[in-house]
Amino acid sequence: MVCSDVSLDELVGFHVGIDAFGYANLGILYQAEFPVGAVYCIRAGAVKLMKSTPSGEHRILRVLKTGDVAGLESAFAETYEHTAVAIGKVQACRIPITHFRRFVAGYPDLQVRLLQKSAAALREAETWYSAMLGSGTPARVRVARLLLRLRAGSSDRIHRLSLDDMAAMAGITRETVSRAISEFIRMGILVKSGSGMNTRHFRGDMPALEKIAQPD
Amino acid sequence: MVCSDVSLDELVGFHVGIDAFGYANLGILYQAEFPVGAVYCIRAGAVKLMKSTPSGEHRILRVLKTGDVAGLESAFAETYEHTAVAIGKVQACRIPITHFRRFVAGYPDLQVRLLQKSAAALREAETWYSAMLGSGTPARVRVARLLLRLRAGSSDRIHRLSLDDMAAMAGITRETVSRAISEFIRMGILVKSGSGMNTRHFRGDMPALEKIAQPD
DNA sequence: CGTGTACTTGAGTGGGCTCAAGCAGGGTGG
DNA sequence: CCACCCTGCTTGAGCCCACTCAAGTACACG
């Protein structure tokens, strides 16, 4: 991660003007097409990256979790590429883009690392979409993969976002997602947990989910 | 494009060891998991970037055309991310990775440009996959979008790759692709052209295709 | 406790997948 | 030069999964 890969001494001189922020559910970090103002290190929670289609709908392209950096792909562009929206409670630190650019300019090694991180994001996106694209892929498998992807860290906790969001990510309808999840719950490999609208998550049997996600 | 964005004077000192190569149909430029040896500027033709799935199949993730640079995403990694295979006749210039890295190191501005290019690749991938993901998207629409994407430059020529390749890209079966294309041909908005195995392409009525591709 | 949103569940339909033949057409060998 | 074959493409019939439409239910929040 960008923030933690550099020594504290290096960062301290640039942390001036960097603040920690909290975002409630559906809070907007930044909006697509707007001028780039900052990048954000996600300290806790999850953030969805969306983009509006010409026809008014919006599609979820990626979900960032603890440790990811939001807005990185727009760091050297004029305007943001996506709209970033908080899922549940999010804690993030906001790094003004001017600081960020100055910081990067001062540490050439960091530029290479940014390139690698960018390449990693591309690879991840490709892997993800290629996993969802297969038309022969049954809905249950898609949902299992989606759940695995929404895992928080290495725990058995899974970020639970709305059915519509999951449906948009998996490329299937909300009803189908609902049916698949109901099935998993009946099987006992998935448990709803956290009743409040802000701390929603599942507890999942990861090995079982991986087994279902297996069939290519 | 990286090669042409810099002045000839800047390049000339680094072009030592850079050669032009020709690749016949299905010629391999480089292979996934192998050590990175070079990046390639595509001078003519098209190249498909593939990745093998755990189950032995391979999926086409992107298609590079004239003016693109192959292997860029692996330029600062140890091994190649994809396997690059020529579609039809391809002309490319091979830039040894050592040269490339030395060159980039010498021109800091270029690093920012590489970051932007990397971000552009990510955006393109996201746009593309999100266009294909919609499960409600009819096969005809998918194929129309695919064809538009395979357009050579701004002409009415469309790179014609195998049905299986197109099927892999659109996330549908080869039969369905065949039916859609047959329909387009019957409608007269698509014409097969170039009989040899190397110079295969369509001639397409772009406005008509765009109209079909429209419905989000 | 009421209200609204999000989720669940059901019945019926249809588009694309599967399976299974036919059909070019170009490359190879006689 | 022609016949063959082999790969890639086309076309058809039937089925199944996921979508659509439409209620009904749970649950969070005021």
Cβ–Cβ of B216/A53 closer than 8 Å?
yes
Residue type, B147: L
What is the C-alpha separation between B83 and B170, in angstroms, rounded?
19
**Interface of chain B toward chain A, CB-CB under 8 angstroms:** 51, 53-55, 57, 59, 61-62, 73-77, 81, 108, 111-112, 114-116, 118-119, 121-123, 125-126, 129-130, 132-136, 171-173, 216
What is the C-alpha separation between A132 and A138, in angstroms, rounded?
10
Give the DSSP H or E segment for A176: helix A174-187
What is the C-alpha separation between B131 and B149, in angstroms, rounded?
11
Asked if the model's pLDDT at residue A2 lies above 60, the reply is no
How far in angstroms lies nucleotide C16's C1' from the CA of residue A25? Answer: 39
Task: Provide the b/e sequence for A55-78 (b: ≥16 CB within 10 Å).
Answer: eeebbbbbbbbbebbbbbbbbbbe
Q: Cα(first)–Cα(last) distance of chain B, in Å?
A: 30
Asked if the model's pLDDT at residue B199 lies above 80, the reply is no
What is the C-alpha separation between B58 and B60, in angstroms, rounded?
7
**Of B54 and B73, more confident:** B73
What is the C-alpha separation between B18 and B153, in angstroms, rounded?
25
CA angle B25, B29, B32 (to 5 degrees): 120
Size of interface A-B (CB pairs under 8 A): 98
Share of chain A above pLDDT 90, in %: 54
**What is the least distance, in Å, from the CA of B128 to any CA of chain A?**
10
Instruction: Return phi, psi of residue A189, to 5°.
Output: -95, 5
The footprint of strand D (CB < 7 Å) covers A 137-140, 171-173, 175-176, 195-198; B 135-136, 162-164, 174-175, 178-179, 181-182
Per-residue pLDDT at B17: 57
Instruction: Return phi, psi of residue A82, to 5°.
Output: -125, 175
Are A90 and A44 contacting, i.e. CB atoms less than 8 angstroms apart? yes
Q: Cα(first)–Cα(last) distance of chain A, in Å?
A: 30
**Using alpha carbons only, how large is chain A's radius of gyration in Å?**
18
pLDDT average, residue stretch B91-113: 85
Within 8 A of A123 by CB-CB distance, chain B residues are 73, 81
CA angle B143, B145, B150 (to 5 degrees): 95
- Tell me whether residue A85 is exposed, middle or buried, using C-beta atoms within 10 angstroms of its C-beta: 0 to 12, 13 to 18, 19 or more: buried
How far in angstroms lies nucleotide C15's C1' from the CA of residue B52? Answer: 29
For residue A22, give the DSSP letter.
E
Tokens 């690059």 -> residue: B84
Tens of pLDDT, residues B141-192:
999 999 999 999 899 999 999 999 999 999 999 999 999 999 999 999 999 9
Of B150, B156, B175, B153, the closest CA to residue B164 belongs to B175
Does residue A193 lie within 7 Å of nucleic acid chain C, judged by its CB? no
Per-residue pLDDT at B179: 98
**What is the least distance, in Å, from the CA of B151 to any CA of chain A?**
22
Alpha-helix runs per DSSP H in chain B: 2-5, 8-12, 97-106, 108-133, 139-149, 163-170, 174-187, 206-213
pLDDT average, residue stretch B103-116: 82
Q: Write out the two tokens for B108.
A: 């800091």
Within 8 A of A57 by CB-CB distance, chain B residues are 216
Instruction: Give the confidence band of A25 by pLDDT, cuts at 50, 70, 90.
Output: confident
Of B201, B185, B200, the closest CA to residue B140 belongs to B185
What is the C-alpha separation between B146 and B131, in angstroms, rounded?
10
Tokens 């948009």 -> residue: A168
Instruction: Give the confidence band of B136 by pLDDT, cuts at 50, 70, 90.
Output: confident
CA A100, A105, A107, A110 torsion-angle sign: positive
Per-residue pLDDT at A179: 98
**What is the least distance, in Å, from the CA of A54 to any CA of chain B?**
7
For residue A36, give the DSSP letter.
P
Tens of pLDDT, residues A61-85:
999 999 889 999 999 999 999 999 9
How far in angstroms lies nucleotide C17's C1' from the CA of residue B46? Answer: 30
Per-residue pLDDT at A216: 62
pLDDT average, residue stretch B94-112: 84
Cβ-based neighbour number of residue B68 at 10 Å: 20
Which nucleotide across the nucleic acid strands is nearest to A176, CA versus C1'? D18
Q: pTM (2 decimals)? A: 0.86
Instruction: Return phi, psi of residue A58, to 5°.
Output: -130, 145
- Tell me whether residue B38 is exposed, middle or buried, using C-beta atoms within 10 angstroms of its C-beta: 0 to 12, 13 to 18, 19 or more: buried
Adjacency order of strands within the sheet including B157-159: B157-159, B201-204, B190-193
Asked if the model's pLDDT at residue B16 lies above 80, the reply is no
A110-114, A131-135, B97-101, B172-176: range with highest mean pLDDT? B172-176
Q: Which residue of B has its CA nearest to A138?
A: B135
Tokens 């920690």 -> residue: A20
Task: Provide the b/e sequence for B139-163 (b: ≥16 CB within 10 Å).
Answer: bbbbbbbbbbbbbbeeebbbbbbee
Cβ–Cβ of A129/B134 closer than 8 Å?
no
Lowest mean pLDDT among A176-185, B1-10, B51-60: B1-10
